[in-house]
Amino acid sequence: MQKKLIGLMLVALLMFATMACDSGISEEDHAAAVDAARAEGLAAGQAEAVAGMEAVSSVGVSLSEWAISATPNSIPAGLVRITAANGGPVDPHELVIFKTDLSIEDLEQVAIANPEERGFLPEADVPGAEFIGEIEEFEPGGVETGVFDLAPGRYVFICNIVEHSEVDEQGNPESHLLEGMSMEFIVR
């Protein structure tokens, strides 16, 4: 009886998996759909604010060991499409956006003092810094985009990856932030 039930469940699972594969869209289409949904979600949630905005600014961000740069590094406020490219050469990277007046040195000190994970900036929990959003980590050679609604002010972009497989002489895990993956970004 029990075996029969398990057998039936397996068959159902297999059928489901097959159906999922048949209706499968390519990863590219999926990424585009996610991107569109994200942009639409922003517009729906902030219809009034967005209504008056004409252009979406575009910013290119380059991530690598160990630097972040943005072109341009200052833009007018509003919806911004950020296209991030990981130049590696070896590591995955991510782009985390904070709105803050804290210096990069201050943020590094917070990361160093983090008792949970040295070198990691506790994203939603940094006094004086507002977590705005992120483009999740992706592999070298990859390009990812995200749309963000940025108010005027000073921002800091960082890569917040900490690699526990790489440890320095003091026994500290490799922190991409502490290695230098940070930059200031201005929204006018």
Task: Find the part of the chain contacting Cu ion (CB under 5 A) among 28-36, 117-125, 148-156, 172-180.
Answer: 172-180
Segment interacting with Cu ion (CB under 5 A) among 41-49, 91-99, 116-124, 142-150: 91-99
Scored b (16 or more CB within 10 A) or e, 11-35 reads: eeeeeeeeeeeeeeeeeeeeeeeee
> If binding means CB under 5 A, how many residues of this protein chain bind Cu ion?
5
15 secondary structure, DSSP code: H
**Binder to Cu ion among 86, 93, 147, 162 (CB under 5 A)?**
93
Interatomic CA distance for residues 106 and 113, integer angstroms: 11
Residue from 176, 177, 182, 185 that binds Cu ion (CB under 5 A)?
176
In the complex, the smallest distance separating the C-beta of residue 131 from Cu ion, rounded to whole angstroms, is: 17
Task: Mark the segment that binds Cu ion (CB under 5 A) among 1-9, 11-19, 89-97, 105-113.
Answer: 89-97
Alpha helices in 97-187 (DSSP H): 104-112
**What are the structure tokens assigned to 97, written together?**
């956006």
Which one of residues 79, 96, 161, 187 is an interface residue with Cu ion (CB under 5 A)?
161
The minimum distance between CB 134 and Cu ion, in angstroms, equals 12
For 51, the token pair is: 């209504």
Q: Whole-angstrom distance between the N-terminal and C-terminal Cα of the chain? A: 69
DSSP bridge partners of 135: 95
Q: Smaller CB distance to Cu ion: residue 93 or 107? A: 93
The footprint of Cu ion (CB under 5 A) covers: 93, 159, 161, 176, 181
